[in-house]
Amino acid sequence: MRILIALLLSFATVAHAENTGLMSGLISAPITLPVRMFGKDLTLDGYVVRPDRPGRFPLVIMTHGTPGGWDDAFFRNIAKRTPTAFNTPAVALAQRGYATLSIMRRGFGLSGGSYSEELLRPCDYLAAERIAADDIIVAMAAARREPWVDPDHILLLGHSTGGLTMLAVAERNPAGVVGVLNFDGGYHAMAKPDEACSPDRLVGTVASLGRTARVPALWLFAENDRSYGPELAHRMIAAYTAGGAPARLQILPPFGTDGHDLIIGAAAETWLTVAEPFLAELKLPTAVTIDLPEPAPLPTPTGLSPDCQRAFASYVAIRSDFKAFAIDDKGACGLAPASRTATEARDRSVAECKSNTSGTACHVYAVGQRTTEN
């Protein structure tokens, strides 16, 4: 296992050397972590963004939420998930001297094993979150041994069900973990999007997790979170801290039409300015030490629909060498904002474009910050 991890991280360095455009000064590449769980060997799908220089860095481990529904579409959806969804916060933190590791739990993305977080009973999800925490614990154990990781300064960052997962990790007070950032942590009703799966049971779940957790935590919830609004967030943190867990809640301004995905879609400065005092209390870095080059100008394709014009403006601003934008001749488009590789970005952008058009041919217009057309 040790040799395989070293080889994969060597690949990460090589991949970075060939793709330095928008990420000069940083290493960014996919990683596969081999782990052993419940007597079985499997791999977890991950993505690393870290400073491109020698040394050990505080490690931020990130994990994701869970889509709604419970049918074949649900399993197709989770299989398409990618750890690069955390690219925006990962880049911002790496600029401040952190190594970031985004991990897909079992059954998500390219991670091995089957989906293991199903609810044993309706709205009874404490056991499911503790199972999800197992994935993070084993991934963290593997990452702590790497030469670029400071094993005594680990920050956990989770979104939605991933936020609850990180609280379930903190419940065990693992060695090296100094803090938790919980973004909009909760668990929705599988059959009813935008609705908590019994608010009372959600409050009871965090109360259970808070009885033994002694890792400081900052909870960040958007004011317009359609799944877990401020009233529920206040109830949850009151229950969590009643057992002695050290935590505080910060309600962030509204973001878009649904603030639940703020950590994924908003600029990092939206929440970093609020989180910096918490990070400073933990003796973690807050200042930018790696300045990234400004994105090169990129001409807008002609004939784009208004929605695609907005999508292209977003594309230009994304900090990733592994992004792609596809178009057709009718004004439709497809955006792959951050992928594991350039090839994956190309494929995803074309597939997205085809899903948005009426059968006309789609082709890749740009990869990274360069067009593919003369």
For position 285, what pLDDT does the model report? 97
Indicate if the pLDDT at residue 167 is higher than 90: yes
Distances from the Cα of 180 to the Cαs of 98, 134, 162, 215, 274, in angstroms? 15, 16, 11, 7, 14
For position 16, what pLDDT does the model report? 38
Q: How far apart are CA 225 and CA 21, in angstroms?
A: 35
Q: Are 31 and 47 within 8 A, CB to CB?
A: yes
The predicted-structure confidence for 231-280, as pLDDT tens digits, reads as follows 999 999 999 999 999 999 999 999 999 999 999 989 999 999 999 999 99
Residue 195: which pLDDT band, with cuts at 50, 70 and 90?
low
For residue 304, give both structure tokens. Answer: 């784009």
What is the Cα gyration radius of the chain? 20
Indicate if the pLDDT at residue 365 is higher than 50: yes
Residue 265 identity: G
Residue 136, C-beta contacts closer than 8 angstroms, at least 6 positions apart: 61, 63, 103, 105, 156, 165, 166, 169
Indicate if the pLDDT at residue 198 is higher than 90: no
Distances from the Cα of 330 to the Cαs of 32, 150, 303, 356, in angstroms? 39, 51, 7, 10
For position 323, what pLDDT does the model report? 94
For position 20, what pLDDT does the model report? 47
Phi, psi of 10 (to 5 degrees): -65, -40
Average pLDDT of the chain, as a whole number: 89
Instruction: Using alpha carbons, select from 30, 33, 32 the residue that is nearest to residue 49.
Output: 30
Indicate if the pLDDT at residue 21 is higher than 90: no
Residue 307: which pLDDT band, with cuts at 50, 70 and 90?
very high
Per-residue pLDDT averaged across 133-137, rounded?
97
Q: How far apart are CA 17 and CA 133, in angstroms?
A: 34
Find how far residue 198's CA is from the centre of its chain.
25
For position 12, what pLDDT does the model report? 40
Residue 219 identity: W
Residue that wins the pLDDT comparison between 295 and 268: 268
- Report the percent of the chain where pLDDT is more than 70: 91
Indicate if the pLDDT at residue 317 is higher than 90: no
Phi, psi of 178 (to 5 degrees): -110, -15
Per-residue pLDDT averaged across 116-134, rounded?
87
Residue 323, C-beta contacts closer than 8 angstroms, at least 6 positions apart: 315, 335, 336, 337, 338, 339, 345, 367, 368
